[in-house]
Structure 1
Amino acid sequence: MKNAKQEAPASKGRHLILGVFGILLGLSGLFLAIMGAQLVTLGGSWYYLLAGFGLLISGVLYVRTKPAATLVIGVVFVATVIWALWEVGFTFWPMVPRLAPFLVIGLLAALLHPWLSQGRHRAASYGGAAVFAGVLAVGFYALFIPHGVIEGEPSLAVQPQAKGTDKATDWSHYGSNPAGTRFSAQTQINKDNVDKLQVAWTYRTGEIAEGASEYQNTPIQVGDTLYTCTPTSKVIALDADTGEQRWTFDPKAQNTKTWNRCRGVSYYEPAKVEHPLVFADLKPAKPAQGNSCAKRIVQVTMDARLISIDAETGKPCEDFGDHGSVDLTAGLGRVMENVPYYAYTSAPTISRNLIILGGWVFDGRSLDEPSGVIRAFSADTGELVWAWDLGNPDITKLPPEGETYTRSTPNMWSTPAFDDELGLVYLPLGNQQPDFWGGTRPELTEKYSSAVVALDMATGRERWTFQTVHHDLWDYDIAAQPSLYDVPDGKGGTIPALIQLTKRGQIFMLDRRTGQPIADVVEKPVPQDVAAGDWVAKTQPYSVGMPTFGADPLTEKDMWGATFFDQLMCRINFKKLNYNGEFTAPSTQDTLIYPGYYGGFNWGGGAIDEKTGYLFVNDIRIPQVVKLVPRENVDLSHLKSGHGVGSTYPMEGTPFVIDHKGFNSPLGIPCQSPPWGVFAAVDLNTRKKVWERPAGTVEDAVINGVRANLPIPLGMPTLGGGATTASGLVFYAGTQDYYLRAMDMATGKEVWKGRLPVGGQATPMTYLSPKTGRQYVVIVAGGARQSPDRGDYVIAYALPEKE
């Protein structure tokens, strides 16, 4: 009797546990079946409907304590494994949401089976549980291992350590040099000692990158001084060895509360210009008085002023413009006072004695926005030398009295490169406003949207144009600075090449003398559906002679999630979208844009090892969903007008406004399978991919207010590019986790990383101090994109002094 009384409560407890497990299984199955049925009606996979029924039946059997419950679970599990292998093979991340839930269910089912079978099959059940537990343990361990890695072969790369220099060379341009290669010939920090890098000094600007501000600056270095700028255009000079502040200059720029950026400043030293351009109609430059303004820092502010500053003192150069400043709104017409429609984000380009400028235009506001005119100013006096008006080539300086430069033409918000020997400057152009509807765009300017254009530096006249997207309706403007490098011609010589990265993940290699492709480009037909009043190009250019990144069309099988529930919802949402590949035009339905308008490759651009011809890239793989809404259906007085995901572009003058949102699961995770960003290398000599690996981890990612705190290398979106050295290293920050990394450029393996106080979204730079002979690697850290942690740091790393 005693045993019977003891067994009764135990039996009730077991029944309760089995019942609860059965109810949870049944509810899960019911959800999968109902939503799976919806997926089937959309033409999607039948798996979820059938698996849902299986779990529902199993749940009922568990509630009724029938041993057949385990059999049904086993059948569903085996079917799931077969289905998962058929869909995605053995690729790790796509497998996770497909198998992980069933491994957990299988483990619990194996542990519970002896209760269903009155103690029979105990050994087999616990053995099965051990197998499930072992697979889960291996899977958990595998979460922390990079997947999808393409390893480079050290023997394939030229070993460059002996080919560098121990002499001080300046990082005097945004991209290190006029070619924009972000290459340094320094070798002091190399693969053998990089693991000893430590913080040498830290400087704080006092301006936290909050609200509309992002700290994306790459400092320049000239001699023993480093020059940096803040998001609201303050310029700061620092001692290159100690980080001590030498001077600051505050232009008191208007805070736009919309888009505060300063990606760099530029340096001009008149005495070192070997072949200055001479313009008869300009007043002669005044010789420097003593040391005053013999060396200059040139800055463009957020409120559209061009400023020349004495590099030694930080005081304005009085002989430049109006007491050191030039108003860049001249000739632009209406630029909006409360909401600036024209500003500047990138470093000005100084070529010989010219300052060449484009401008940032607020995306998607109106058919009537400021011009994308390209202008050149005298670096000595600030006078306008030439203007290239994309809509009216007859305007070569200021517009006639009472007129403006052509409104809403494609603009250049990124950074050019230039070839002094050829006398050409290469412009990465943006899109014609308002980005997502182009029914009224004039033929003259159509050819310049999302194109790279070569201008004669001396005259500002067009020499050639190559368009990367025809009639761009996707905001695929060219964000990356072109990179210039001479590639083999196959006959023992070289061809002067221009390498252009695009938001599409395409890499175009052009002859920079003519604009003709060196690597094959073909025109491919694209979908022809389009919104009312607009049109689409019949074909689009594809760079088939170079590797592409993140450009494969998405399918239902690519949908992902942390669980099978949100993966199923992503599948349903994907099937509902208007999507027929990369060039699906925006419509009045929710339309998927992939690669998204953040990239592909954004403004961080590429870096080239000039010794080996390796090109290093990092990308973004985050699609967006847009929807054209007829203007008459919108209460314009309550329009949430902003920039990018989560906002609405008013597109004044068109029949529509356009809504933007991310393509995420209900848990706030991107719907497509990782990686969402990679680091990679391409050999420009062979035009082949050398290596690829996921870019960073989720360690510092915050989703729905929760920080991950796990260094899982999913591969995250990156901003900012790389910097290469002759010692065989490429340095990267710009990831969602808070690190500066050094990677072996031959293999892609991480050889060092330094923890940052907050994330970065800038490109690092490096230099050798002429005073101490010490090599530094510098990064600014103001906070990773979408991160709540913000800062104002300039951080220099170096080897210990004893090294």
Structure 2
Amino acid sequence: MNILSPMCRRCGLFLLLAVLSLAAGAADTDTHQLGTKYSPLAQINTQNVARLQKAWEFHTGEAPPKDVKDALIAFEDQPSLIEGNLVVCTTSRRLIALDPQTGKQRWVFDPKSQKVGMQKCRGITHWQDRRAEAGAACASRIFLGTTDYSLIALDARTGRRCEGFGEQGVVKMQMDKPELFRGEVVAASNPAVVGDVVVVGSAVADNQRVAAPSGRVQAFDARSGALRWRFDPVPREASDPASGSWAPGSAAQHGAGNVWSSMAVDQALDMVYLPTTSPSGDFYGGDRLGDNRYTSSIVALQGSTGKVVWHFQFVHHNIFDYDTPSEPLLIDLPQPDGRVVPALVQNNKTGLIFMFNRATGEPLQPIAERSVPQSTMSGEKAAPTQPFPVGMPTLTPQSFSPEDVWGFTPIDKWLCKRKAQGYRYGTIFTPPSEQGTIFSPSVGGGPNWGGGAYDPASHIMVVPSNRVPTIVTLIPRAKAKLGASQAIESGGAMNFAVAGAPYVTRVEPLLSVLGAPCSAPPWAALTAVDLVKRKIVWEVPLGSIEAMMPMKPPKSLFDANLGTPGAGGPLLTAGGLVFIGYTLDNQLRAFDLKTGKVLWQSELPAAGTAVPVSYEAGGEQYVVITAGGHTMYRSKTSDAVVAYKLKR
């Protein structure tokens, strides 16, 4: 259900302005905040991309150790070109400014953040103080979130702290309760800037305790660092309209619902869009019955005040870990009646695509509430229905059964079928169970934090997605066996204690005895969707398993392009290209946007589980990606930043 606040009656006044000034807004602010991952550069195009070669390679000095336990390390930064520097955020949150043409280091800022279990940085944000004199210190600022939940302001030209911001350039953000351990709450993704307000989300460690810390979003004055407002996706006041969607008193006992992904910003509308996540804990909600709004939603706030303008919940009473994982795409979308609407497009772990008028929250396609399977767990009450966009294609399979199994050999397939028959299975939104439930899409999606990219000329959105189902089992606490530590990996079972819950959660991929997925390939795919015609243009496997195979059969007998689960997102360019790393085969690929054909690829030092960027420097177009791998996927790891340009 979409909720529109009275404030949105004023939104119509901004509608024409938003349509006319989107391009100007993109120029005035960091284009990362639009979520479109689009570059208007076309020097590199479909005709010459085969001539692309490495221009330079830089190493941060932070390559992960070979054996990583109790930690998740991933070099996921989307570098930013700011004040003539290419600024990279490392896994420890150091900022390194590079010469964009040569990759030579210019300056370094080390926040000396505490070392925590989740070591990653998904970017920074740039802000220009239009009141300051040209060239003044900190007139151009970089904002960085840290692992000790602080917000730092730096001079974008020099990398020095802005002394007038907070205390010597640092605002220590307040949590609502003490952490159980260092890094239970961190600022992982890039802050958002709306006008003169800096908005910061958080990553709250999943499945550690029912009474998790609040996932509240906090906003600060971009000049002084003074607190401007806070918004909690879990409503704390009885007067909040969303409080009625929680069983009486339950909201006060829960946390999370946080915004761990990137937010999107419409400067003309003074709006910031929050992709919120599930409340604590992720897989059992018997102690928080109800829809649990504003969690698992897109929430549009007025940037200057933090007041709710509109919101829509994608997953009612989320017991699936189906977060809203990716930054929304803010685009101008033609409609069948000839209008061009300022739209917000949201991809979800579910593989469903939702589109809204981002000024009013009005859906741009019908949304139907459909009946879904119910829970068998004592005390649990799953939502009777879930929202589905009508007439939109889906990005992932929406169900799984023993008849869907696959294997390299007949025996492998037979064993997979026997395994699947031992679990609960069915359509999407089949709840977790003590028996174990096969989730398809998996708990990680489907699409995840890398999200989609959009080409404004063709109206095509390109989205990567993982396709391997997971098994979620709820184990009564008295029967659970918990180790002293927990390896974080995608290839084995992970057990989550969830203090305060009656069940321990086990999450594991659905694999055969050979270690291969029991589901049919592709195990990751890249999908192009025409958002105007609302149909899939093409879909291709994303990644090759050749390097992972113990033996390499002849290519004439076996096509190894079965897709490899991964992470990251695509970059679209005006040259008609889709650049993406993502895969565990350590390749950066360029696809033809029209056909999905691979036109070029290059081996990276490690998996490029990030989002590429493109810029022009010295009259030449560059494509850059961080290539550090991802320890959860047990991939090869590195600390590399790699740049490409055309061979002269």
TM-score by length of 2: 0.88
Aligned length: 602
Q: Aligned to 1:313, which of 143, 152, 158?
A: 158
Which residue number in structure 2 is paired with residue 195 of structure 1? 50
Deviation string for 1:360-404 (max 9, x for gaps)? 0110111111101111111111111111123235999xxxxxxx9
Counterpart Cα distance in 1 of 2:97 and 2:418? 54
Counterpart Cα distance in 2 of 1:658 and 1:331? 26
Alpha-carbon contact 1:304-1:342 (below 8 Å) kept: yes
* Equivalent residue runs for 1:99-118 within 5 Å: none
Q: Following TM superposition, by how much is the alpha carbon of 1:701 offset from its aligned partner in structure 2, in angstroms?
A: 2.9
Match for 1:680: what amino acid? Answer: T
Alpha-carbon contact 2:175-2:213 (below 8 Å) kept: no
Q: Following TM superposition, by how much is the alpha carbon of 1:467 offset from its aligned partner in structure 2, in angstroms?
A: 1.0
- Which region of structure 1 is more displaced relative to structure 2, 183-192 or 546-555? 546-555
Counterpart Cα distance in 1 of 2:611 and 2:627? 10
1:669 to 2:516 alignment: yes
Counterpart Cα distance in 2 of 1:780 and 1:457? 31
Match for 2:64: what amino acid? Answer: A
Larger radius of gyration: 1
1:763 to 2:611 alignment: yes
The SS at the match of 1:459 is coil
Deviation string for 1:180-213 (max 9, x for gaps)? 1111111111111111011111110000134331
Match for 2:275: what amino acid? Answer: P
Q: Following TM superposition, by how much is the alpha carbon of 1:423 offset from its aligned partner in structure 2, in angstroms?
A: 1.7
Q: Aligned to 1:615, which of 419, 438, 461?
A: 461
Residue 755 to residue 617, structure 1, CA distance change in 2 (3 Å): same
The SS at the match of 1:203 is strand
1:579 to 2:425 alignment: yes
Alpha-carbon contact 1:202-1:793 (below 8 Å) kept: yes
Counterpart Cα distance in 2 of 1:797 and 1:641? 35
- The percentage of aligned residue pairs carrying the same residue is 38
Counterpart Cα distance in 1 of 2:256 and 2:606? 38
The SS at the match of 2:413 is helix
Residue 233 to residue 288, structure 1, CA distance change in 2 (3 Å): farther
Alpha-carbon contact 1:698-1:708 (below 8 Å) kept: no
Deviation string for 1:257-297 (max 9, x for gaps)? x21110111111212x8xxxxxxxxxxxxx57963222221
- Which region of structure 1 is more displaced relative to structure 2, 640-649 or 426-435? 640-649
Alpha-carbon contact 1:699-1:709 (below 8 Å) kept: no
The SS at the match of 1:700 is helix
Counterpart Cα distance in 2 of 1:517 and 1:294? 39
Counterpart Cα distance in 1 of 2:573 and 2:134? 38
Counterpart Cα distance in 2 of 1:487 and 1:374? 29
Counterpart Cα distance in 1 of 2:347 and 2:476? 34
Which residue number in structure 1 is paired with residue 123 of structure 2? 264
The SS at the match of 1:681 is strand
Alpha-carbon contact 1:371-1:405 (below 8 Å) kept: no
Deviation string for 1:729-754 (max 9, x for gaps)? 11111112111111111111111111
Which residue number in structure 1 is paired with residue 625 of structure 2? 779
**More helix as a share of residues:** 1
Counterpart Cα distance in 1 of 2:615 and 2:300? 30
Counterpart Cα distance in 2 of 1:433 and 1:517? 28
Which residue number in structure 1 is paired with residue 99 of structure 2? 239
Alpha-carbon contact 1:764-1:780 (below 8 Å) kept: yes
**More strand as a share of residues:** 2
* Equivalent residue runs for 1:577-656 within 5 Å: 577-634=423-480, 638=484, 640=486, 646-656=493-503
Which residue number in structure 2 is paired with residue 350 of structure 1? 193
Match for 1:224: what amino acid? Answer: G
1:533 to 2:379 alignment: yes
Residue 639 to residue 195, structure 1, CA distance change in 2 (3 Å): closer
Which residue number in structure 2 is paired with residue 376 of structure 1? 219
Q: Following TM superposition, by how much is the alpha carbon of 1:442 offset from its aligned partner in structure 2, in angstroms?
A: 6.5
The SS at the match of 1:570 is helix
Match for 2:546: what amino acid? Answer: E
The SS at the match of 2:420 is helix
Which residue number in structure 2 is paired with residue 687 of structure 1? 534
- Which region of structure 1 is more displaced relative to structure 2, 195-204 or 646-655? 646-655
Deviation string for 1:65-84 (max 9, x for gaps)? xxxxxxxxxxxxxxxxxxxx
Q: Aligned to 1:474, which of 320, 329, 333?
A: 320
Counterpart Cα distance in 2 of 1:416 and 1:395? 26
* Equivalent residue runs for 1:693-708 within 5 Å: 693-701=540-548
Counterpart Cα distance in 2 of 1:708 and 1:431? 44
Unaligned runs of 5+ in 2: 1-25, 241-250
Alpha-carbon contact 1:680-1:689 (below 8 Å) kept: yes
Q: Following TM superposition, by how much is the alpha carbon of 1:177 offset from its aligned partner in structure 2, in angstroms?
A: 4.0
Counterpart Cα distance in 2 of 1:666 and 1:218? 37
Q: Aligned to 2:359, which of 509, 513, 516?
A: 513
Q: Aligned to 1:323, which of 168, 175, 179?
A: 168
Residue 637 to residue 766, structure 1, CA distance change in 2 (3 Å): closer
Residue 288 to residue 300, structure 1, CA distance change in 2 (3 Å): farther
Deviation string for 1:745-765 (max 9, x for gaps)? 111111111121221100101
Counterpart Cα distance in 2 of 1:536 and 1:504? 17
Residue 310 to residue 503, structure 1, CA distance change in 2 (3 Å): same
Which residue number in structure 2 is paired with residue 26 of structure 1? none
Residue 202 to residue 637, structure 1, CA distance change in 2 (3 Å): closer
Alpha-carbon contact 1:261-1:302 (below 8 Å) kept: no
Q: Following TM superposition, by how much is the alpha carbon of 1:707 offset from its aligned partner in structure 2, in angstroms?
A: 9.1
Counterpart Cα distance in 1 of 2:143 and 2:238? 29
Match for 2:150: what amino acid? Answer: R
Residue 642 to residue 733, structure 1, CA distance change in 2 (3 Å): closer
Q: Following TM superposition, by how much is the alpha carbon of 1:520 offset from its aligned partner in structure 2, in angstroms?
A: 2.3
Alpha-carbon contact 2:150-2:172 (below 8 Å) kept: yes
Counterpart Cα distance in 1 of 2:170 and 2:253? 24
Counterpart Cα distance in 2 of 1:708 and 1:347? 44
TM-score by length of 1: 0.72
* Equivalent residue runs for 1:358-373 within 5 Å: 358-373=201-216
Unaligned runs of 5+ in 1: 1-168, 274-286, 397-403
Deviation string for 1:132-167 (max 9, x for gaps)? xxxxxxxxxxxxxxxxxxxxxxxxxxxxxxxxxxxx
Alpha-carbon contact 1:681-1:691 (below 8 Å) kept: yes
Counterpart Cα distance in 1 of 2:60 and 2:613? 18
The SS at the match of 2:544 is coil
Counterpart Cα distance in 1 of 2:343 and 2:189? 23
Counterpart Cα distance in 2 of 1:558 and 1:244? 51
Counterpart Cα distance in 1 of 2:29 and 2:82? 6
Deviation string for 1:519-569 (max 9, x for gaps)? 222111111233111110111111232110222312323211121111111
Which residue number in structure 1 is paired with residue 575 of structure 2? 727
Which residue number in structure 2 is paired with residue 333 of structure 1? 177
Q: Following TM superposition, by how much is the alpha carbon of 1:234 offset from its aligned partner in structure 2, in angstroms?
A: 0.7
Match for 1:179: what amino acid? Answer: L
Counterpart Cα distance in 1 of 2:91 and 2:178? 24
Q: Following TM superposition, by how much is the alpha carbon of 1:504 offset from its aligned partner in structure 2, in angstroms?
A: 0.6
Counterpart Cα distance in 1 of 2:581 and 2:199? 28
The SS at the match of 1:226 is strand
Q: Following TM superposition, by how much is the alpha carbon of 1:407 offset from its aligned partner in structure 2, in angstroms?
A: 5.0
Match for 2:567: what amino acid? Answer: L
Match for 2:438: what amino acid? Answer: L
Counterpart Cα distance in 2 of 1:637 and 1:553? 32
* Equivalent residue runs for 1:477-488 within 5 Å: 477-488=323-334
Counterpart Cα distance in 2 of 1:380 and 1:222? 18
Residue 663 to residue 200, structure 1, CA distance change in 2 (3 Å): same
The SS at the match of 1:532 is coil
Residue 698 to residue 314, structure 1, CA distance change in 2 (3 Å): same
